[in-house]
Amino acid sequence: MTKNLLQTVVVAFLVSALTLVGYNQLTSNKNENNIRVEHVDSTPAQSVLFSKDEDGEFTPVDFTQTAEKVNDAVVHIKSTQTAIANNQSPYGGRSGQANPFEDDFFRQFFGTPMPQGQGRSRQPEPRVGTGSGVIINADGYIVTNNHVIKDADDIEVTLHDNRNYKATLVGTDPTTDLALLKIEETGLPKVNLSDSDKVRVGEWVLAVGNPFNLNSTVTAGIVSAKGRSINILQEQYAIESFIQTDAAINPGNSGGALVNLNGDLVGINTAIASPTGSYSGYGFAVPSNIVSKVVEDLLKYGITQRGYMGVRIRPVDGALVREKGLSVNQGVYVDEATENGAAINSGIESGDVIVKVDNTVINSNPDLLEAIAQRRPGDAVEVTVNRNGTEKMFSVILNNRDGNTEIVQKELAKALASLGANFETVDKETAKKLDIKGGIKVTDLQSGALTKQTNMQEGFIITKIDGKNVTDVAELEKYLDNKKGGVMLEGVYEEYPGSYYYAFGV
């Protein structure tokens, strides 16, 4: 009985196996490229991802709460500028000849008509730009980019709930492309500033702003790099040490927030790297530590206080290591420690490689610029250098741009302030290079007589006013204090040959 049952089972198994083999053979011959697709009733989904925080604890990766927290504190900014249409070169020359004296001065004050055929119209026409801003204080203080509000005659801020305000400009810092605005309101939602030094590559971040006038847009990405310099700021003492992110940033995001998952500000979105002008994968933000320092300076002093070491530097790379026989592969090489500068006075020499400032490791030029940009004249920093394979530490007392440790005060006469510009006395080295006795450099142009009545550009160095030599800002201030009527400025540009003339009325 048992034996017969066993035989029956074996026979049944063999029959089934042969049937399956035959079926597979038939279907294989029928269609050799047959692909089996399986469908299920529902797709398994994970409702939330987790990541570890600094303490090693698992925290949920959830963008919704962060977006809700930050959206209300990011504003839309509209800046309006009354521009002067100009088909000439940006520096006022005609066919290579710089003669805006005839145009600006005689037409303005003596009614001389514009020569025919010059193709120029001076009819005011409004230019409207848009961007974003971040409320950092409940009493209406807003951070944005300088390029968002540059030369604006009118600045309008719209909140997330559509309330609208006129904004006043507290101050700007073109070297970091930051500006501080103020609206008359209290109890506003705000974003807290975090320590950007603690931001790590690979960390989740959100970009919040108003790209293409699409209000309150949130995109997500990671920090893809730190300490980036893309040479977008054309200021002489520009500070570029951007946080790079792959969160989508487009025109209109400028001045908006880059925040961590806690909703704290890690940077102000400033630029994109793109061949088309739209997002192509990389965005750049000014680190929040620099933002914090600039805001404090503008509120307290009205002008940014910048510490200087007095060194000419270049990054350490493989070619430099071979050329100089260096003992380190990373850091910042001191090409020259300038005479009477803070660095040389502390003992730092040409040929040293700066590897650390206080507790911050220095691997590149942006690392050093960012570390020093967070300090003021008179601050002491511990600078570690590698000299011939040996590390040495020096205490450096930072100077201001004039070579001393004093805080720079922003004190402009009313007449000087009406020009809508910031000025600085030209240093001896620049004066010698340009073969001038001295002069006053226009470092920043905003809304004022110079932008409304002339086509002057930033970087212009004033050497004469109404034919009289001027060599420092105090002389210009004194001359304009009681001046009425027409004023003619004569000067030069570092990048362009010849003399240039600009005339305006006060």
Sign of the C-alpha dihedral computed for residues 283, 78, 178 and 257 taken in this order = negative
> How far is it, in rounded angstroms, from Cα 158 to Cα 152?
16
Residue tagged active-site, from 177, 246, 264, 297: 177
> How far is it, in rounded angstroms, from Cα 52 to Cα 59?
6
Residue tagged active-site, from 79, 147, 246, 367: 147
> How far is it, in rounded angstroms, from Cα 143 to Cα 292?
10
Residue tagged active-site, from 79, 196, 254, 292: 254
Tell me which residue of 443, 444, 446, 491 sits closest to 465, measured CA to CA. Answer: 491
- Pair type for strands 257-259 and 265-273: antiparallel
Residue 371 tokens read as: 């570390």
Tell me which residue of 306, 290, 132 sits closest to 199, measured CA to CA. Answer: 290
> How far is it, in rounded angstroms, from Cα 248 to Cα 328?
37
> How far is it, in rounded angstroms, from Cα 356 to Cα 146?
30
Residues in Cβ contact with 137 at an 8 Å cutoff, skipping those fewer than 6 apart: 188, 190
- Pair type for strands 178-182 and 168-173: antiparallel
Is 254 catalytic? The answer is yes
Tell me which residue of 247, 224, 379, 391 sits closest to 306, measured CA to CA. Answer: 379
Contact 206, 244 (CB under 8 A): no
Q: How far is CA 10 from CA 18, 21, 378, in A?
A: 12, 17, 96
Tell me which residue of 398, 405, 396, 381 sits closest to 349, measured CA to CA. Answer: 396
**Secondary structure element (H or E) that encloses residue 126, with its range:** strand 124-137
Phi, psi at 15, each rounded to 5°: -60, -45
CA angle 403, 409, 414 (to 5 degrees): 130
Q: How far is CA 11 from CA 5, 21, 23, in A?
A: 10, 16, 18
DSSP 386: E
Tell me which residue of 139, 209, 211, 210 sits closest to 168, measured CA to CA. Answer: 139
DSSP 87: -
Phi, psi at 109, each rounded to 5°: -115, -20
**Residue 141 burial (C-beta neighbours within 10 Å; 0-12, 13-18, 19+):** buried
CA 229, distance to chain mean position in Å, is 10
Tell me which residue of 120, 116, 176 sits closest to 147, measured CA to CA. Answer: 176
Is 364 catalytic? The answer is no
Contact 222, 204 (CB under 8 A): yes
**Active site residue ranges:** 147, 177, 254
